[in-house]
Amino acid sequence: MAEPGVRVLGRACEVLDCFTEADPRLGMADIRSRTGLPATTVARIVSTLLQEGLLVREGDSYRVGLRVLVWSAPARSGSSLLGVARPFVEQLRDVTGESAGLYVRQGATRVLVESALSQHSVIYRGYVGQVLPLDAGAAGKCFMAFDEDALSAAVEAAPGRHTTAAARTELERRLREVRERGWAYTEGEREVGLNSVAAPVPGFGTVPEAALAIGGPSVRLDRAEAERIGPVVAATARAIAVRMGHVPAEAEEPADV
C-alpha cells in the first residue's frame, strides 16, 4: 500500500488531471464525478491546491492556477525527447501536409506533447496537453502493439469495446499488423471522418518512448494515402530515436514523399 503522503499526491494529480483545454473550469461536483473520490476527500484536496496556488476559485467553479506555468519551461528544456523531436514533427507536417504530433503514454491514455498544425483549411487541430484514450487512434495502437502494459491498461479502461472473443481477435490482428509494418492506420475511431497514421518512436528496449502521428480528414488521408506515407512516418519516428541514441546511427533518415 502507498504511503499516506504518496497517496495524497496521487489524488491531487487526479484532481488536476480533470481540467482540460475543453473544460478549463469545473465545479466541485464535476471534480467528484471525474475522479470518483469521496466528497470530503475532494474538498480537502481542492482546499490544499487553492492554498498552494495550483487551483484558483472563480465563483462556484475552479481553474488551474498560473503557478503551474513555472514548471512548464524547465519541463520542456529538460526533456531530451522534446528537444530532439520538434524539427522532425514540423518536417513530417511539411512533407505530408497534415497536422503532426508526438504523444507519450500516461496510463491508459496518451498525451500530446508536441504539435505542428497543417496549413490546409480543413485540418485536425490537436493541442499540446490534449489527453486521448489509447484504444482509439493510430498513436494509441502503436503503444498497445509494442507494450503489454499499455495493452492491458487500454483494455481495462474500455472493457465494453474488447469483451467479446471476436473483438479481442480483431484487436490482436490489428496490433500484429502494426508490429509487422512498423506503423498504424485507423479510420474514424475517435471522430467520424478523422483518420490517422502513426509509428512508434523506439526507446531503450522494446517499449516505445513515444508515438509520432499525423491526422487528417478522410477525404485526404484515405487508405491509399496511408500506404504511401506510412513508411515515411515510421522512418521519421525512427530518425528521432536515432538522434536520441536509442537505435543505431546507421538507421536511414526519413525520405520525402
Q: Which of 2-11, 75-84, 217-226, 245-254 has the weakest average pLDDT? A: 245-254
Question: Which pLDDT tens digit goes with each residue over 47-65?
Answer: 999 999 999 999 999 999 9
**What local confidence, expressed as pLDDT, does residue 250 receive?**
62
Cβ(217)–Cβ(58) below 8 Å: no
Sheet with 55-58, edge to edge strand ranges: 26-27, 61-64, 55-58
Question: Which pLDDT tens digit goes with each residue over 190-200?
Answer: 999 999 999 99
**What local confidence, expressed as pLDDT, does residue 99 receive?**
97
pLDDT band at 20 (very low <50, low <70, confident <90, very high): confident
How far is the C-alpha of 210 from the C-alpha of 202, rounded, in Å? Answer: 7
How far is the C-alpha of 6 from the C-alpha of 45, rounded, in Å? Answer: 13
Specify which residues 110 forms β-bridges with.
105, 132
Q: Answer yes or no: is pLDDT of 249 > 80.
A: no
What dihedral angle (degrees, nearest 10) is formed by the CA atoms of 52, 57, 60, 62?
-80
pLDDT over 70 for what percent of the chain? 92
**What local confidence, expressed as pLDDT, does residue 166 receive?**
87
What's the average model confidence in pLDDT over 84-111?
A: 94
Q: Grid coordinates in use for 198? A: 502513426
How far is the C-alpha of 98 from the C-alpha of 4, rounded, in Å? Answer: 46
